[in-house]
Structure 1
């Protein structure tokens, strides 16, 4: 009898130990589940925040496009210019811009810029846009005629001439703001305009463009980088 009692007592001790280990494992599993749920909630909240940022800046960009359209809708046809949803205003009548091979602004283009540029900056400097603009690009483009490198120099000289002339139209306080934003970019024949059948439109390829970059692009790039890094680390 005594021997059986010892065996029974020992068995109870082992069962008690087993229960304690089981409880410990269950507790650890519960903690793990809580941590996992917390991490998933953080990912979901971050994703929702990213979507809100994308939506907000997309709305700013869309509204800026609408306001630029409203401002210049009566003038675009006269200027032989277009505006698209990428916030690019394209002056596409080369005979009004520069003489072939030269970087001096033609009188007609000066008249256009006299009217266009101050109004353009007035829209961009509105409170809802001013802090969201990171670059105003003046781009010069040539067609594929001639040497690529010579055309690069020509397009750069032309954009600098446009920038200098436009700055001369503005008040000093506006110039101080614009110096941190406006860039002159000569692109030679690297961005040709093509017809529907894929051939170069040599006339339209010779053009000057004004482009706006908002910090929407920067935020979208940051979000894309974060998502890529998260996937890479998973």
Structure 2
């Protein structure tokens, strides 16, 4: 034993403590890196599952409705699975929330078939939400401020989606289908928050006035959670590196 050690009876225990703390730190970093790797692998897996589900649903929706889309003035977006009804004069009167007769006829034909596809065994357990979205242009009455126009259009779009929701539930004949749908369907008035623009960058007011039906799946929500956790884990690693 050296003279320094004999003068400090705690020297050995402090050294052991520092070594133990270093070991704990290394284990924590290793565990965090392992969690990040596992999260990355799970993210890749979920992306694959999500893409496969999206592709299958898109193909079935496209196959079911491709003969109707043109006469309905509707399109299906592959990336979001949104079915967009984009002829505003068919949907509602200007500034009104009552579904027009022509749109009622379209919904009578469209919605039961839409729900039948979503309730197929390969999809029904994966559906988290069926969204009815109402969108408007940014304009309102002349002289309105931008804020007034936004909130007036918000109220209008919310009224319209609730009206559409009430109507489409009445198109379903079977109680089982109605109950299943009611547990998942939501009405979302979005005002002018998601405008459509022309190629020149100007607001396309006619195209912006639309109603969309879209679905969210469990794979999508799980992926969002994994990505959020992955970001937190990576931030934890960066924090440890800074320390």
TM-score (normalised: structure 2): 0.77
User: CA offsets per residue over residues 151-173 of structure 1, 9 Å max, x none?
Assistant: 11111111111000000011221
Q: CA deviation at 1:186?
A: 0.9
Written as runs of structure 1 = structure 2, the 5 A alignment for 1:167-186 is 167-170=169-172, 171-186=174-189
Match of 1:132 among 126, 145, 148: 126
1:84 paired to 2:106: no
Is contact 1:90-1:208 (8 Å) kept? yes
Which residue does the alignment assign to 2:101?
A: 107
Please list every run of 5 or more consecutive structure 2 residues that lacks an aligned counterpart in the other structure.
1-22, 141-148, 238-243
Match of 2:211 among 205, 208, 214: 208
Is contact 2:36-2:234 (8 Å) kept? no
Aligned residues: 204
Counterpart CA distance in 1 for 2:55 and 2:116 is: 17
CA RMSD of aligned residues (A): 2.3
Q: CA deviation at 1:41?
A: 6.8
Counterpart CA distance in 1 for 2:65 and 2:44 is: 32
1:195 paired to 2:189: no
SS of structure 2 residue aligned to 1:197:
coil
User: CA offsets per residue over residues 117-174 of structure 1, 9 Å max, x none?
Assistant: 0000011111111111111110111112212222111111111110000000112211
Counterpart CA distance in 2 for 1:112 and 1:127 is: 26
Larger deviation, residues 82-91 vs 215-224: 215-224
Give the greater-gyration-radius structure (CA): 1
TM-score (normalised: structure 1): 0.80
Counterpart CA distance in 2 for 1:41 and 1:139 is: 41
Q: CA deviation at 1:43?
A: 5.7
The higher relative CO (CA closer than 8 Å, separation ≥ 6) is in 2
1:162 paired to 2:186: no
Q: CA deviation at 1:47?
A: 3.5
Counterpart CA distance in 2 for 1:44 and 1:185 is: 37
Please list every run of 5 or more consecutive structure 1 residues that lacks an aligned counterpart in the other structure.
1-30
